[in-house]
Structure 1
Amino acid sequence: MIQSMTGYGKAVVTYGEKKINVEIKSLNSKALDLSTRIAPLYREKEMEMRQLVAKTLERGKVDFSIWIEKEAGADATPVNCAIVENYYRQIKDLAAKTGIPEPQDWFATLLRMPDVLTKTEQETLSEDEWQAVRVAIDDALCRLTEFRQQEGVALQRKFTEKIDNISALLAEIETYEKQRVEKIRSRIVEGLKSIPEVDYDKNRLEQELIYYIEKLDISEEKQRLANHLKYFRETMEDGHGQGKKLGFIAQEMGREINTTGSKSNNAEMQNLVVKMKDELEQIKEQVLNVL
């Protein structure tokens, strides 16, 4: 079953007072194009995160984000009480020595002093927290893969419908193909009969007609197109990772359809070829999304 490159996955795990959020979004791309937004605490693990994403997603334009939410008050910067007391004593001593009045609003004055609200501790990433992050990443990747699989089912259903339509149109061409040969022969013969003064060799005319009709023969194109249609179906069943191959097959299908149109020399057949091109164009547009 094929997979789409379009997907979305999000996971949240709780570690202590933290909620660790991982969000991954992907769109189609020829190769893996990974953009990351990582909380500062986890940046030391960026290469490992990239490897995890690359191993699972393989291709696509991927946006990877990880951020932390903390419970209310958990991340509040603590007041350094020792520094506040020190400032308080210094200001009181200074006021007593100089006669300058003490502040009326002590809190407003003290909380504006340097380093009173400075967070001095440095948070470090523990192994337990990293394992919690790994769980969140794996869960988000799993959800995104499920999304891709669901999109892949829809794509495969669409491709099958379009391949069936092209097959039906190809079969319909055969009806007009036999009529076309007779029309070409009749048109040439009638044209010669309309010029009575022209004498021609009927055997030579027959040889030229055979040569001309062989040049317009589309039997090989029809057979190759039928083979490409069959190969496209088989490739879809090979599983994910077939996007580029399906794109190549679609290109080959286009070659045979174009050649059939150039050789058709028949209005009805050309109309069918236009419909086949329309169906194929829709396949080409969607095949870009296949992993």
Structure 2
Amino acid sequence: MICSMTGFGRSKVENDTFQITVEMKSVNHRFLEMSIRLPKQMMVFEDKIRKIIAKQVRRGRIEVSISITGEGLVERKLTVNWELLKQYQSIMENIKGKFQLQDSITLGQLMRMPEVTAIEEIENVNEQFETSLYEAVRQAAHMLKTMRDGEGERLHKDIAYRLQEIHNCVNAIIPHAPIVTQKYRERLENRLKELHNQDLDEQRLLTEIAIFAERSDIHEELVRLQSHLDQFREALQITEPVGRKMDFIVQEMHREVNTIGSKANDLTISKYVVEMKNNLEKIREQVQNIE
């Protein structure tokens, strides 16, 4: 069954220490492309996250947002740059001596100097957190896949309906095509009678009809169009990504239909050609969103 490239997935995993929220949305794209936003200290997990998602989706642009809250994940530690502090003190003492200043150097003055103190964040990520993170990603990816599959079913029904409409047009054209040549013969006979008002040259008439018949013959185009319809129906049943294959088949069907329209030179066939083109255009739009 075909799969859409449009979908959304969301999951939340939490305990007493942390809460992990994962959101995913996908749109159509030529290849599989992921954009993952997660806290800087969690970048080490990105490669595994990508692999988990790739097991569920094989084509499309996937935007992933991961938010994490919890006090236990990062420990903050205040540090002092003792070497820099000594330099500040030495410079202050030199300035004080050079200008014979009486003011004393206080601890508060030293501590306010740039980069003397810093808050260092130490990751406190344990195995439980890592397992929970991957589980949250799996749940969101599964929800995304489920939505894409559901949309794929809707696309399948719509495309199958339009393929049948095109098939009906082909079946209507097949018995009508020979009539086109016969009508041309009648028009040609009447026209020649009007112009010459004399007995017709039967051989010349047959030659003209043969040329027209060859030029307007659409049998091969109809056969190829039927073949493309069969190929498309088969593609609808494939579980592997078939979006690009379907896009190619639609282009081929467009080509055959255009040729039929240009060669037939008949109002009835032209009506069916317009109907087939309308359905093909709808199918083409749908195919752009198939994985």
Could you tell me the percent identity over the aligned residues?
Answer: 34
Residue in 2 that maps onto 1:161: 161
Instruction: Within 5 Å, give how 1:17-36 maps onto structure 2.
Output: 17-36=17-36
Residue 124 of structure 1, CA deviation: 3.1
Return the offset for 1:176: 3.4
1:30-45 alignment, distance < 5 Å: 30-45=30-45
SS of alignment partner, residue 222 of structure 1: helix
Find the aligned partners of 1:79 and 1:17 in 2 and give their Cα distance.
19
Code of the residue aligned with 1:23 in structure 2: it is E
Q: Bigger shift: 133-142 or 165-174?
A: 165-174
- The residue that corresponds to 1:270 in the other structure is 270
CA deviation after TM superposition for structure 1 residue 78, in Å: 8.9
Q: Secondary structure at the match of 2:124?
A: coil
4+ residue segments displaced more than 6 Å = 73-80
Asked whether the 8 Å contact 2:76–2:120 carries over to 1, the reply is: no
> What does residue 216 of structure 1 align with?
216
User: How far apart, CA to CA, are the structure 1 residues paired with 2:129 and 2:4?
Assistant: 32
The CA deviation at 1:63 is 0.2
More moved, 243-252 vs 170-179: 170-179
For the Cα contact (< 8 Å) 1:77–1:119, is it kept in 2? no
What is the aligned partner in structure 2 of residue 151 from structure 1?
151
Tell me by how many angstroms 1:121 deviates: 4.9
1:207-244: CA deviations, max 9, x gaps? 33123212201111111111111110111101140111
Say what the alpha-carbon RMSD is for the aligned residues.
Answer: 2.7
Report if aligned partners of 1:41, 1:124 keep a CA contact under 8 Å in 2: no
Q: Judge which range, 49-58 or 35-44, deviates more.
A: 49-58
Normalising by structure 2, we get a TM-score of: 0.80
Tell me the equivalent position of 2:290: 290
Contact 2:232 2:246 in 1 (8 A): yes
After superposition, the Cα gap between the structure-2 partners of 1:31 and 1:75, relative to the gap in structure 1 and judged at 3 Å, is: closer
Deviations 1:107-133 (A, max 9, x none): xxxxxx899xx8555223222211111
Q: Tell me the CA shift for residue 77 of structure 1.
A: 9.8
| Partner deviation per Cα, 1:19-42 (whole Å, 9 max, x = no partner) | 101111100000122111112231
| 1:201 shift after superposition | 3.3
- C-alpha contact 1:15 1:132 (8 A) present in aligned 2: no
| Alpha carbons 1:221, 1:256 under 8 Å: kept | yes
Q: In structure 1, what residue type is equivalent to 2:63? A: D
Are 1:11 and 2:11 an aligned pair?
yes
Query: What SS is found at the alignment partner of 1:2?
Result: coil
- For residue 233 of structure 1, give the secondary structure of its aligned residue in structure 2: helix
In structure 2, C-alpha distance between the alignment counterparts of 1:125 and 1:285, rounded to whole Å: 46
Distance 2:77 2:278 in 1: 70
- Alignment length (residue pairs): 258
Tell me, which stretches of 5 or more residues in structure 2 are unaligned? 79-111
The answer (yes or no) to whether the contact 1:41–1:125 under 8 Å persists in 2 is no
* Distance 1:129-1:75 versus aligned 2 partners, 3 A rule: closer
Aligned to 2:248: 248
Q: Match for residue 98 of structure 2?
A: none
Give the 5 Å matches for 1:28-177: 28-70=28-70, 120-177=120-177
For 1:75 and 1:214, the matched residues in 2 are separated by 79
Q: Secondary structure at the match of 1:23?
A: strand
2:184 aligns with 184
**Equivalent position SS for 2:123:** coil
Q: 1:108: which partner in 2? A: none
Instruction: Please tell me the residue identity of whatever aligns with 2:58.
Output: E
Gaps of at least 5 residues in structure 1 are: 81-112
Q: Secondary structure at the match of 2:12?
A: strand
Q: Deviations over 1:165-216 (max 9, x none)?
A: 1111122223532332221111111111112267763123213312321220
Whether the 8 Å CA contact 2:12–2:22 is kept in 1: the answer is yes
Q: 2: distance between equivalents of 1:172 and 1:69?
A: 65
Matches of 1:76 and 1:219 in 2, distance apart? 73
Q: C-alpha separation between the residues in 2 aligned to 1:207 and 1:169?
A: 31
**Aligned mates of 1:33, 1:134 — CA distance in 2:** 19
| Alpha-carbon contact 2:75-2:124 (below 8 Å) kept | no
**2:36 alignment partner, SS class:** strand
